[in-house]
Structure formats: C-alpha cells, structure tokens
Structure 1
Amino acid sequence: MNSGLPVPSTAPPAPDVAADLPWFVAHTRPRREKKLQQYCQRDGIAVTLPCYRTIHKYRGKTVEFRKPLFPGYVFLRLSPDQKQKVFQSDHVANLLVVNDQARFIRQLGEIIEALDTDLEIFLAPQIGQGCRVKIKSGALRGMEGWVEQRYGPATVLLRLDFIGQAAAVKLQADELELC
C-alpha cells in the first residue's frame, strides 16, 4: 500500500536558474514518464509530471496508484546543454517546442493547482452515446460494443453483441478505447 506521500510533480534545480529557461514538452518512449522524471531530478533538470491518483481494489486490498495525467508527455525547462542530455537518457522520443510560453505556464499552473486539490481528475476520451468502443482490460478485454449511456465522467453503460444476444454492462470509461 502507498505510504500516502504525494508523488512530486516538480523538481526545479534552482528557482532563479530554471525561471529563465524555456519550456519543452518531452514525448517519451512508452511508459517512461516516471523514469524520465527521476532522471531529470537526479541531474538537476527542472521537470513537471502532472499525476492523478487512482485507487484499485485487488482481492479485498485497496491500492493507490499515481498515473501521468498526460500519458507519454513530461514537461521540462531546459538549457541547450540539458536538451542534449535529456535526449541521451533514452527515455525521450521527441522534444516539442512550446511556442506560447506565457500561455503554457498559465495552463500548466492551473493543471497543477487542480491536481493539488486531490479531486478525482483524469483525461476522459470523447466516448459518447452511440460510439463504438473496445474494452481494454478485465474479463471482457478485447470485446467491442456500443455506448448506450454515460453516467458522469467515469461510468459508461455498454451494449455488447455476442453469440446473437445483446448484454449491457457498466464499465469505467478508462477501461475503453474508441474503435
């Protein structure tokens, strides 16, 4: 079980140095966001990885996880020398330039502020009534169906057609992907 300590979302090397550096968006290799964050923290590179809290129950035990809000992306403040170093980490697939630095800083600040409230926040795919979806996890993994109804941001009523019969199941939206 998690100790309850929050996963740090930022680790600037020094406030006066990092404040003058431009922001970049690192597109990471698959499932390497936290490894890149640790690498940057170890090397004194300013890094921001917005994470949200998710709770799962396994065999009666409640387990808390911290997952990246933007899978595959980490936000960095880099000098030209640090850019090269980050690429050499083998965690980065591409670095994207942030064109409007002021707007980016404002939006990232709002996201971090919302995450600090510890409300349940997650990216929800645009899954609406009538959309064809595929189940990503669980006993019905791989099955396809149609969204009948949404119950709030997280729960979806799904119609599955199999063996000539239709069944409706309630699933979490994060267990689905658009076909």
Structure 2
Amino acid sequence: MCISKPDQWYVLYVKARHERKIENLLKENQIETFLPLVKTVREWSDRKKEIEMPLFPSYIFVKINLKKDTHKVLSVKSYCFFIRFGEEFAKVHEYEINSIKLLLNMNVPMKVENYAPLLKVGEYRRIDKGALKGLNCEIIKADNENKVVVRIDSIKQNIVATVPSSCISEVVA
C-alpha cells in the first residue's frame, strides 16, 4: 500500500505583476493558493490611490502534493516555476503561512526586508560550509543557484561550483 505524503506549501515564482492572474488560474485548477497582499499608497502627479500589492513580489504559495500536483501547477502558464535551493524545492511550513496571515490581519503597514547576505557578481567571499569550506571565491553568477569561481593561481586553474547562499560568508578583503 502506497502512503501519499500530506500536502505541503511550496513557493512559485511567477512573471512580475501577474501574481493575481496566475493565482486565479491555479484556483480554477483546484490548487490551494496563498497570495499575501498589503495595502500601499501610490502617488502620481495628479492623484494618490491606495492599492494592494503582493507582500512578496512574483511569489505565490501553493499547497500541494508535490508528486501528484506538480504538472497541474506548471501547466497553468509557462512563466511560473518552483523556487529551488539547489536540488530542494523551497518549502514553507504551515506555521509560517499562519504567521504571515496573522500579520496581514493586524492591518499594519509592512514591507519585506531580506537580511540574508546579498551576493553581488564580482564580490570575493569565503565558503564556510560544505566540501569547499574555508576557500575564498569570487561570485560569478548570483541568483537561485550561485556560481562561484575558486582560483588556484599557482597552477593557473579555476574551479567553478554552484554553492547555496547559506554556505557563503562575509566579504573577503
């Protein structure tokens, strides 16, 4: 007898400013979604208007059984895909979703600030976890899968590796 894993929350990345449209399409396909929206005031030269904006631009949370529902989610539009960290799909715990909902219900002004170290192409960093721990590297690509180059100057060789942000520490002078 095959036991199905319970549904979990995953994060979809969608085309900018298409969050609501994609959310509606997902709901039409019986996919449970969560799109946290916050009210903000936009100002133009002739008027001000209060509008709702996604708390996390380009992100939609979906509660699915990954093996069963992945195709159903990705068939909605070609410009949405799952956020991944290395080989793992980004999962969000139920209590984190509930915390976001609680904050939204408080109706207080908020914005998202990311305190993870932002990697910039050309920066020199130290790898502090994993097989390359202790090596200095240069960031050559900074995105969901950070590419770094470790230079071995004595033999004029380079090692290019994909390293998660969580394994890269402070800037090396």
User: Which category of TM-score, normalised to the shorter sequence, fits these structures?
Assistant: 0.5 to 0.7
2:112 match: 123
Percent of aligned positions with the same letter in both sequences?
19
Count of aligned pairs: 105
Match in the other structure for 1:94: 81
- The answer for the alignment partner of 1:41 in structure 2 is 27
Distance 2:98 2:46 in 1: 37
SS of 2:72 mapped into structure 1? helix
- 8 A contact 1:35–1:91 mirrored in 2: no
The Cα shift of 1:44 comes to 1.7
Q: What are the superposed Cα offsets for residues 14-71 of structure 1, whole Å, 9 maximum, x if unpaired?
A: xxxxxx3122111112322111111112222100011111012445543121111111
Query: 1:73 deviation in Å?
Result: 1.0
Identify the residue that residue 177 of structure 1 maps to in structure 2.
none
Alignment pair present for 1:84 and 2:71:
yes
User: Residues 36 and 91 of structure 1 are in contact (CA less than 8 Å); yes or no, is this contact kept in structure 2?
Assistant: no
- For residue 158 of structure 1, what is the aligned residue in structure 2? none
The answer for the alignment partner of 2:97 in structure 1 is: 108
Amino acid at match of 1:120: P
Question: Displaced runs of 4+ in structure 1, greater than 3 A?
Answer: 57-62
8 Å CA contact 1:28–1:91 kept in 2: the answer is no
Q: Deviations over 1:111-138 (max 9, x none)?
A: 1111111110112467xxxxxxxxxxxx
Give per-residue Cα distances to partners, 1:112-166, cap 9 Å, x unaligned.
111111110112467xxxxxxxxxxxxxxxxxxxxxxxxxxxxxxxxxxxxxxxx
Given the two structures, how large is their TM-score scaled by the length of structure 1?
Answer: 0.51
- In structure 2, runs of 5+ residues without a counterpart are 1-5, 84-88, 116-173
The match for 1:75 is: 61
Normalised TM-score (structure 2): 0.52
